[in-house]
Amino acid sequence: MSEVREQVRERYRSAALDVLQGGKGDCGCGPCCGPEAEAEVFGGALYEAGERAVLPDAAVLASLGCGNPIAVAELREGETVLDLGSGGGIDVILSARRVGAAGKAYGLDMTDEMLELARRNAAEADVENVEFLKGYIEEVPLPDAGVDVVISNCVINLSADKPKVFAEMARVLRPGGRLGISDVVAADELTPEERAERGDYAGCIAGALSFAEYRTELERAGFGDIEVEATHEVGDRMYGAIVRARRP
């Protein structure tokens, strides 16, 4: 697990440094800075124009996800939200605005450079109901049952211990709390070896669960009302997907 974690950390550290130094920050999920990279498959283009317009440019440039979890989560005024793998802070900032001054948005990331960028973006966006935490999505530094909604954007596939991630999501959610996640998911017929042939772990491909595996792991963690639905293709039988579930 530590080897995979360090590969992921270095890739996203580089992406954050690129943005902090005035670059485009386009070396996250998917093909990294190559001619085959698809702007509409990963990144800030997956957000509505109105959402992008109220964000700092650096937050949009640092968006490396495969969807828009804010559109999935149906956030409400006064809720507490946790973003797993918050990167440059785009989803934390949007969540903070949705839940309002009575709510709170946490962002969790393991990369110092991403946390620096996220805090800078939140300050530029003038949102105060946010807090960025350093840590791992397998070991969330928050107490039990203190969060209404967990969101994540193309990060869970990067973990080498997904059952632990799902268990942590269940732990921090209040009873009745819910998930609103975007992630890369593989077609059920693809073996782990076939997924690895399509891309590496840090590029959000090799570590992707299948649709059936995703549902099974969420059920094992105690979730109900589970939905895992493809939104767009990101590779051969690899899909950006939305994931919804609820803690009983």
Q: E-strand spans in 136-214?
A: 147-153, 173-186
Over residues 9-31, the pLDDT tens digits come to 777 777 767 776 766 555 455 44
Compute the average pLDDT of residues 155-184.
96
* Band of residue 47 on the pLDDT scale cut at 50, 70, 90: low
Domain that holds residue 150: 2-246
- Side chain identity, residue 10: E
Residue-level pLDDT at 220: 98
Residue 59 neighbours by CB distance under 10 Å: 27
pTM of the model: 0.86
* Band of residue 32 on the pLDDT scale cut at 50, 70, 90: very low
How many angstroms from the chain centroid is the CA of residue 242? Answer: 11
* Band of residue 52 on the pLDDT scale cut at 50, 70, 90: low
Count of domains for the chain:
1
Give the span between the Cα atoms of 146 and 174, in whole angstroms: 6
Query: Cα-atom radius of gyration of the chain, to the nearest Å?
Result: 16
Over residues 120-159, the pLDDT tens digits come to 999 999 999 999 999 999 999 999 999 999 999 999 999 9
Look up the CATH number of the domain holding residue 222. Answer: 3.40.50.150
